[in-house]
Structure formats: C-alpha cells, structure tokens
Amino acid sequence: MAHQHGPGRIAAAVTGAPGAAVLASLAVPAVLPVSADVRLLIALLAVLPAAATAACLALLARSAVRAWVASALVAVVAAVVLVLA
C-alpha cells in the first residue's frame, strides 16, 4: 500500500524540519571546544545533510502533528543550547 503524504507533513518537511536542522547545526558546533574557524566549518558541513535528513524524517512521520512536534522539539533544544552556550 502506498504511503500518502498529507499537506501537514509536507509543510513540516518543507518549512519546519529544515529550520530546526539549521538551528541544530549551529548549536552543535557552539558547544565544541575548538577554534571558531573549525566550528564554522563543522556548521557549514553539517547543515545540508541535517536539513535533508530532517525533511525525510518529517515525511516519514506517522502524522502531521508528530512531524511538527519533532521539528519544534529539535528547534527548542537547539535554541536553548545556543542561548546557554
């Protein structure tokens, strides 16, 4: 049976998940004990695979609510890490 994507999951995959992935790819290097140049390189190298993975996972979610909640949870955790770092 084919998997049908609703508009909520598609919207989460196009808008919410990549935004959360960008925040996460900025938050992870912020806590690494390396120089600023290496942190920037890590963030730049991680953002595209993270955004692609997040979009795919949002499309694979069981419902639109789960896709949005997962994206929001990642974004909130990443924002907290960025504020505290």
Q: Which residues contact 8 (CB under 8 A, 6 or more apart)?
A: 63, 64, 65, 67, 68
Q: Domain for residue 1, yes or no?
A: no
Distance in angstroms (rounded) separating the CA atoms of residues 71 and 24: 10
pLDDT in tens, 41-66: 999 999 999 999 999 999 999 999 99
Q: Domain for residue 2, yes or no?
A: no
pTM: 0.85
| Count of domains forming the chain | 1
Instruction: Indicate the average pLDDT of the chain.
Output: 91
- Domain carrying residue 69: 7-84
Q: Which residues contact 67 (CB under 8 A, 6 or more apart)?
A: 8, 9, 12, 13, 16, 17, 58, 59, 61
Q: What mean pLDDT is predicted for residues 24-52?
A: 92
